[in-house]
Amino acid sequence: MKKRLICILDDDEIAALFLKRQLERRKYSCISFCQSVNFFAWLDGGAAPSLIILDYFLGNEKCSGLDVCMRAKGALGVPVIMLTGDRRTRTVVNCLNAGADQYVTKPYDIDELVARIGAVLRLYEGKVANYRPNEILSSGIRINWDERRLSSAHGSVVSLTEKELALLALFLASDEAYVDREWAFSAIYGMERGPLNRAVDVLISRLRKKLVLLDSAIDIVTVRGNGYFLVSSSAKSE
């Protein structure tokens, strides 16, 4: 199997080299950069990393890891893990909204970080390996994974955000089409869910509304206090 290539962008050269060596010991191919200009020059040369690890603060550069995250996600669509010492809620939210798949704070445990890298790669690679580009979900509903769209047999089309698509992938990866709320939050947002955090509920609501727009026979049923089932309308009425 070809080694997955992980790209690290951190203005702290020593920290970047340490992480690079740790990941190489765990059978990943790695390349590290300390300046975003070199990182983007590498991407412009046709590089195709499997995953990118970004530091939020990039020293005296004009752009932050947040800017790099948005540009990289827009250009490549590969998973991004933000690695930073900033624990403020606003920073976490901004990074996740910019498209980051996981947010890990320094100092980090290398085994936990490696586990998160593996989880993110499995989610992305499993989606590509297990589903056809235009897979039929149910009742004529088609999923276009590359373009992040759902379409109905009637010709209706809705676009999905990356997080909505990731949520749908979690449903389809489950044998019973069931997703636990806590697990879904951890898988999609990369951290433990706080007691008052309703991010997954909001995401469920948005996905449910888009299924309604397609006039589909699919719905999402909430199991109070636990999680959600993706079901057909006929199963729901039974």
- Tens digit of each residue's pLDDT (9 = 90 or more) over 43-88: 888 888 999 999 888 877 666 777 788 777 767 778 899 988 877 7
What's the CATH code of the domain at 162? 1.10.10.10
State the Cα angle at 160 between 159 and 165, rounded to 5°.
Answer: 145
Residue 58 in domain: yes
| Phi and psi at residue 221, to the nearest 5° | -105, 130
Domain presence at residue 213: yes
Task: Flag whether 130 is in a domain.
Answer: no
Q: Which of 64, 97, 125 is the last residue of a domain?
A: 125
Looking at 83, 99, 125, the residue that finishes a domain is 125
CA 160-161-164 angle, 5° bins: 80
Determine the pLDDT at residue 76.
Answer: 76
The alpha carbon of 60 is separated from its chain's Cα centroid by a whole number of angstroms, namely: 28
Q: How many domains does the chain have?
A: 2
Q: Are residues 140 and 121 in the same domain?
A: no
Structural domain includes residue 237: no
Neighbour order of strands in the sheet with 80-84:
29-33, 5-9, 51-54, 80-84, 102-105
Residues 154 and 111 in one domain: no
Q: Which residues pair with 54 in a beta bridge?
A: 9, 82
pTM summary value: 0.56
Instruction: Let me know if residue 78 belongs to a domain.
Output: yes
Domain that holds residue 95: 5-125
Residues 119 and 17 placed together within one structural domain of the fold: yes
- Based on the fold, state whether residues 107 and 170 are members of the same structural domain: no
Domain shared by 120 and 49, yes or no: yes
Mean pLDDT of the region 154-178: 80
Query: Residue 2's closest CA among 50, 53, 52?
Result: 50
pLDDT in tens, 200-227: 888 899 999 998 888 777 888 988 778 8
Supply the pLDDT for residue 133: 47
